[in-house]
Each structure stands twice: as structure tokens, then as C-alpha cells.
Structure 1
Amino acid sequence: MDHEIRALALVCSLKPGPQASSSEVMARQVLDAMADHGVAGDTLRVADYDVKPGTAADMGEGDQWPQIRSRIYDADILVFATPTWVGHPSSVAQRVLERLDAELSETDDQGRPELFGKVAVVAVVGNEDGAHKIVADSFQALNDMGFTIPAGGATYWNSEAMNPVDYKDLDQTPEPVAATTATLGRNAAHLARVLGAQQYPAS
């Protein structure tokens, strides 16, 4: 029986739930695109958790990152969804990447980094430019930690310059965004199955 492919979307909005979030809307669209290819997924609003600053897997009393970390390990695909703030990913997104730094020292019984074999994709929304830079920085960080990035592994939307509109308030998803998200979902599901069937070589 084939392994069920699962995805987890970390929504790095500055807004805790249940406040409306454009990043959450896009993350759910990415999960919907993956669902078309047999992937089950959930979203997690990082701002709902007390994630302590630091670069360890567990920063001690009150730190809720270990709960999130466990769910990342349970998933085959990580959807890293962030808004754009002053041209950069949100501070919540940056903290997630800092906490993932701890995984660099975690290896399996064959010497591979524990995150080898997991897929990561990026989704960015914003009322200003910066999506390409955010995608590039996020790809580098996630890949360095052991995630594999599929072809077409990002989707994004920016509002028209000097005319801010929230993605969540659009009447419909622009066709180029929808097409890009569909490609992301298809390729991420494919890559996760490939890696699930044949892991990277042992160190």
C-alpha cells in the first residue's frame, strides 16, 4: 500500500487566528492544489504558538516550537507561507527559519540529515515588492537544512504598486497565480512520492 503523502503549511502571518490572513488564504490554495494529486494537508498559524527565539530544537519552559517541529517531521511536504513586510519575510517566518537551524545537526541512522527526503515549497503575498527576494532567501535556507525544492516550487502575489489590496480581498485568484500554484502542487506531490520511494544515499 502506498504511503499517504501529507503536507503541513506553516502560515507565518503576524496575525494570530482566527483573524483573516492573506497568507492563510494562499497556503490553503496551495494545499488544495496538492489535494488534487492525493496529498492530505493542514495549516498551522505559527503566531498562535509561543515560539521562543533561539536556534535549538527546544528552548525550554514555555517553548511551543517542539509541537510544531513534531508536525513538520510528520509531514512529507512543508509549505512555508509568509507575507511581505518592508520587503522581507515576516518576523514570524524568520523565527521559523532560525528554529529550523537546529535540524542541521540531526541525522538518521545512516548519517543523512533528518530532513533529507522532505519537500519544501514557498508561498508569498504582499502589498509591496519583494516576493522574488523572499523566495530566493527561503529556498536557500530550507534547502540548506535538508529540504528538497521542486521545479516551480514557489507561488506569489504582489499588489499593484502604490495601490494596496489584500490578497484575501480579491474577488477571484488571478489566472497566472492559479496556474503557478497548480504547477507547484503537482510538482511537490510528484517529488514527495519520488523521495518517499527512493531516499537520498547514505552519508
Structure 2
Amino acid sequence: MRAVVINCTLKRSPETSNTEALAAVVEDELRARDVKVRSIRAVDLDIPPGVETDLGPGDAWPGVHRTLLESEILVIASPTWAGHPSSIAQRVVERMDAMLSETDDAGRPVAYNRVAGVVVTGNEDGAHHVISEISGALNEFGYTIPGQAWTYWNRGPGPGPSYLDADSGRDWSASTARAMASNLVAVAAALAERPMPAPPS
């Protein structure tokens, strides 16, 4: 089984990413369950705006798209900015929109029989809103969202420290991340055993 984690931090490598740090807890648990994990920091790639899979020379999205199709599990990790997903996360979701018109050899949307989850960090409130926005989009594209397929950490209302700067709440975020990974693997395995058919016309 394979998973891809798309980190939608605004920070370019090698800058430290709080979002990457919490996503790594999910990655470690996935690997402990014999899942091969690839991590992509989207901001490091040239991903122009658009709703097509390939926008031509210089577009890095086709490579990400191939990784999506090679993976049974997708995790999108995003910081919270002004209560919303990062602009990078929005860009990723917009480019994934092209998957709505792509089908596999059995006539199913290409995202069918794949599962997805969300990781959110931020030193402000709004994590549940970010989870809902991203999960809703992924479900629309055809991904299955298992129960409790998310984890988050935030400081709460007002300014404050970031994930790596504070101990408060991190144990809860980590245990929720491990539960998230377990649920993603369980549902991905179930779909592999009994795939969803193509939708009726």
C-alpha cells in the first residue's frame, strides 16, 4: 500500500514547517503499518493555477498527479491562515479538480477506491473549518473519507506559539494522528478487497 502526504505549508525547504512536524506523526504510523509513504512540499514545486492536469512546459503538477494515482492513501496537510486553508492547499485542490473528468479502465472516477485525510496546524482557531473544506473537496473528487481521518493542533483564539514551540495539546494531536493513520489503512484495505463499482449512468 502507498500513501502520499502533500504538505501545503507556505514555507519553502529547508525552513522548519510545523505542519510537516505533525504530518510526520501520521507518516510514521502509516510506515509502522507497512505503508510506503512519499511526502511532497507543494510550495517547492512550480504549480501554476488552473483546473487541468497538465498546463504544459514547466508545470510540476503532472508529476504530483502521477503520485496521486499510484497511491491508495492521500493526506493533505495545511496550516490555518485567517481561519482558512493555506493558498497552497487551495491551489492543490484546484488542480485536483481535473480528476472529476478522469476515469479508470473500469469507468470509475480515478479517485474512487482511494482514501484521504487531513492534517491541520495553526496558532489560531479554525482547524475544523479547514478540515471540512479540504475533506469536502476530496470527497467530491471521489475519495473516501473514513471516520476520524484527521488530526490538528492549534493554539486557540488569539496569537500564540506554533506547534513546535509548545507542549500543550501535542499528546492529543499525536494520538489522534495515529488513530487517523489506522483508520485510513483499514478503509483502504477494505476498498482493495471490495472496490466500489463505477457509478450508474
What's the TM-score once normalised by structure 1's chain length?
0.93
Which position in structure 1 is the counterpart of 2:59? 63
> What is the one-letter code of the residue matched to 2:31?
A
CA RMSD between the two structures:
1.4
- Output one character per residue of 1:161-203: Cα deviation in whole Å (capped at 9) or x when no partner: 3341111233586222122111101111111111112210133
Q: Please, which moves more after superposition, 5-14 or 189-198?
A: 189-198
Which position in structure 2 is the counterpart of 1:149? 145
Conservation of the 8 A alpha-carbon contact between 1:79 and 1:121: yes
* Residues matched between the structures, number: 199
Shift in Å, 1:18 = 0.9
Which position in structure 2 is the counterpart of 1:46? 42
Conservation of the 8 A alpha-carbon contact between 1:119 and 1:149: yes
Alpha-carbon distance in structure 2 between the residues aligned to 1:140 and 1:96: 14
Which position in structure 2 is the counterpart of 1:194? 190
Which position in structure 2 is the counterpart of 1:185? 181
Which position in structure 2 is the counterpart of 1:75? 71
Which position in structure 2 is the counterpart of 1:108? 104
Which position in structure 1 is the counterpart of 2:82? 86
Question: Which of 121, 129, 138 is matched with 2:117 structurally?
Answer: 121
Shift in Å, 1:73 = 1.1
> What is the one-letter code of the residue matched to 2:22?
M
Which position in structure 1 is the counterpart of 2:164? 168
What's the TM-score once normalised by structure 2's chain length?
0.94
SS where residue 109 of structure 2 aligns?
A: coil
Which stretches in structure 2 are left out of the alignment for 5+ residues?
none
> What is the one-letter code of the residue matched to 2:79?
P
4+ long deviations beyond 4 Å: none
Identity of aligned residues (%): 42
Which stretches in structure 1 are left out of the alignment for 5+ residues?
none
